[in-house]
Structure 1
Amino acid sequence: MHSYITQAQQTELADWGAPEDIGAETVSGPIQCSGSIDLGSTEGPVFGGLYAATRGVYRVVYPFHEHATVMQGEVELTDERTGVSNLYRQGDSWLIKKGTPVRWTIKSDRVLKSYLATTAGLEGDRN
């Protein structure tokens, strides 16, 4: 079992570089990304862990399906296909479908999320 407790979360995360180093595009920054993979690996069909990024704006087309929960900070996610934006704070969660273009606007000095991702196709996917 791996616990992520919001009040006590001070985990050391690996430096993942700029958004471009993880397949995204910086719109305004600089932004520093960091994270951990605590389940599986990015080469496998399922992986999860923690991800953090500093204040700024970046765009990414999701290369996987993701469920995530904000543990610290505040981020606005915009689905660039529909223009719909939602503001997420500690305890809020989302599901993002693989292939969705998303604009991340990080409003706090740092945002931290826990995530579970899969690259597998999903039977009965309902958009």
Structure 2
Amino acid sequence: MLPFTLTMDRPALEDWGSPEDIGATTLEGPIKVAGKLLFGALDAPVFGGLYSATKGKYRVVYPFHEHATLLDGELAITDEASGRTELYGPGDSWIIAKGTAVVWDIRSAKIAKSYLATTADI
């Protein structure tokens, strides 16, 4: 079992650079991203862990299906196809399908999430 709770002791995250380093495009920044893979591997069909980003906006087309839960901060995610924006706070979760174009609007100084992703076609 790999628990993720709002009050958990979290491992140190690794510097992943900017949104461009993870396949996204910065719209307002600069933004720094970090993460820690805790389950699987990036080339495995299923993987997950922790992710953080600093305040700003970026656009990304999801290269995988993701279920995530926000652990810290405030984040608005806009689905570009529908124009729908949802605001998330600690404990809120979402599912984003592979191929979906979204804009992340990180409204707090920093956000952190736990996530589980799969590259498998469904």
TM-score range, shorter chain: over 0.9
Residue 21 of structure 2 aligns to a residue whose secondary structure is helix
Residue 49 of structure 1 deviates from its aligned partner by 0.2
d(CA) in 2 for partners of 1:81, 1:2: 34
Residue 9 of structure 1 deviates from its aligned partner by 4.0
* Counterpart residue number, 1:125: none
Aligned residue identity for 1:45? P
Task: Report the TM-score, using the length of structure 2 for normalisation.
Answer: 0.97
* Counterpart residue number, 2:89: 89
Residue 7 of structure 2 aligns to a residue whose secondary structure is helix
* Counterpart residue number, 1:3: 3
Aligned residue identity for 1:72? D
Aligned residue identity for 1:111? I
* Runs of 4+, deviation exceeding 3 Å: none
d(CA) in 2 for partners of 1:26, 1:58: 4
Aligned residue identity for 1:93? S
Aligned residue identity for 2:107? K
Deviations 1:61-89, CA, capped at 9 Å, x for gaps: 00000000000001000000110000000
Structure 1: gaps of 5 or more residues:
123-127
d(CA) in 1 for partners of 2:9, 2:68: 16
Indicate the percent of aligned positions where both proteins have the same amino acid.
Answer: 55
Aligned residue identity for 1:22? I
Mapping for residues 32-111 of structure 1, pairs under 5 Å: 32-111=32-111
Residue 6 of structure 1 deviates from its aligned partner by 1.2
Q: Which has the higher mean CA deviation after the structures are superposed, 2-11 or 92-101?
A: 2-11
d(CA) in 2 for partners of 1:64, 1:21: 16
Task: Report the TM-score, using the length of structure 1 for normalisation.
Answer: 0.93
d(CA) in 2 for partners of 1:44, 1:4: 21
Structure 2: gaps of 5 or more residues:
none
